[in-house]
Amino acid sequence: MINGKRIVVVLPAYNAERTLEATVRELPECVDECILVDDRSSDGTVALARALGIRVAVHERNLGYGANQKTCYSQALASGADVVVMLHPDYQYSPLLVAPLAGMVAYGVYDLALGSRLLLGGALRGGMPFYKYLSNRFLTVFQNWFTRAHLSEYHTGFRAFSRELLEALPWQRNSDDFVFDNQILAQAILAGARIGEISCPTRYFPEASTINFRRSVRYGFGVLRTTLEFALAKWGLHRTELFRFSKTLTRQEAANLIAGGGR
């Protein structure tokens, strides 16, 4: 626990057997529960997770990264989480940073905290492919122009959510594919959530999961579409299903989210 808040780490997994143990072994003591959701891996991910003593949920068929996150957040909320930290089990992000990331939310400073690979310029040093770095920078600049959120990165897979924020956002409507990450972040910005970032060193190595060039391009176009839909909703011109909230939070309501004053 941190500040009396129950901390649950969720691991969206697919063929993570080679890196799972290293990830779990570095989780800090403040983590109350770790839940792995397996998206029909073909390796020994599930057996290893159970041997490590963490809670496991298994999809009967491969549903996609976004669908995996939907199960992750549903399981975490059902387990009584106050703060939900998503951490990829491929050991690309440092599990040691779960504590400071979760603390930003548990102490009520932010509703959503991001582990940024680009803050302080660590991505290229960690081995991020140059084309991914360029596309990440372009998409981030594009989104910041429309959202005015001034984030260093929109595409990290290391995030901590307050329970209240997850309960307020319609993430169940989001894509089952990789663009889910971007959609839930856009929803949080539109809802008025307080978002903070910390610098997160990253590791790129053969065992770390990554999407290929073709899927990266598809993800990029999905980000552009999400951003334009966000802009239309923000300007009051049109709201797609992703951005049909009961209402957008006022500044005071956003500040009260962590205290349970959400919708």
| Other CB atoms within 10 Å distance of the CB of residue 148 | 9
Which has the higher per-residue pLDDT, 112 or 136?
A: 112
Structure-derived torsion over alpha carbons of residues 95, 108, 157, 117, reported in degrees to the nearest 10: -80
Two tokens at 8? 């649950």
Q: Would you say residue 250 has pLDDT above 50?
A: no
Q: Which CATH superfamily is domain 7-259 in?
A: Spore Coat Polysaccharide Biosynthesis Protein SpsA; Chain A (3.90.550.10)
188, 174 contact by CB (below 8 A): no
**What is the C-alpha to C-alpha distance for residues 49 and 192, in angstroms, rounded to an integer?**
36
Q: How far is CA 209 from the centre of its chain?
A: 15
**Among 18, 148, 8, CA closest to 78:** 8
Q: Where are the alpha helices (H) located in 63-162, listed in sequence order?
A: 65-78, 98-106, 122-125, 130-147
> Would you place residue 245 in the very low, low, confident or very high pLDDT band (cuts 50, 70, 90)?
confident
What per-residue confidence (pLDDT) applies to 194?
96
32, 8 contact by CB (below 8 A): yes
Mean pLDDT for 77-97 is 96
> Would you place residue 220 in the very low, low, confident or very high pLDDT band (cuts 50, 70, 90)?
very high
> Would you place residue 135 in the very low, low, confident or very high pLDDT band (cuts 50, 70, 90)?
confident
Q: Which residues lie below 8 Å from residue 61, measured CB to CB, with a gap of 6+?
A: 40
What per-residue confidence (pLDDT) applies to 108?
95
**Among 88, 110, 118, CA closest to 15:** 88
Mean pLDDT for 67-95 is 97
What per-residue confidence (pLDDT) applies to 251?
46
What per-residue confidence (pLDDT) applies to 83?
98
What per-residue confidence (pLDDT) applies to 109?
96
Give me the residue spans of the domains in the chain: 7-259
Question: What's the mean pLDDT when you consider all of the chain?
Answer: 89
Q: Would you say residue 124 has pLDDT above 90?
A: no
> Would you place residue 258 in the very low, low, confident or very high pLDDT band (cuts 50, 70, 90)?
very low
23, 87 contact by CB (below 8 A): yes
Residue in the block written with tokens 């990253």: 202
Q: How far is CA 254 from the centre of its chain?
A: 19
> Would you place residue 122 in the very low, low, confident or very high pLDDT band (cuts 50, 70, 90)?
low
What per-residue confidence (pLDDT) applies to 117?
84
Q: Would you say residue 261 has pLDDT above 50?
A: no
Look at the pTM and tell me if it is higher than 0.85.
yes
**What is the C-alpha to C-alpha distance for residues 71 and 63, in angstroms, rounded to an integer?**
10
Q: Which of 20-29, 197-206, 208-217 has the lowest mean pLDDT?
A: 208-217
Structure-derived torsion over alpha carbons of residues 21, 201, 206, 136, reported in degrees to the nearest 10: 130
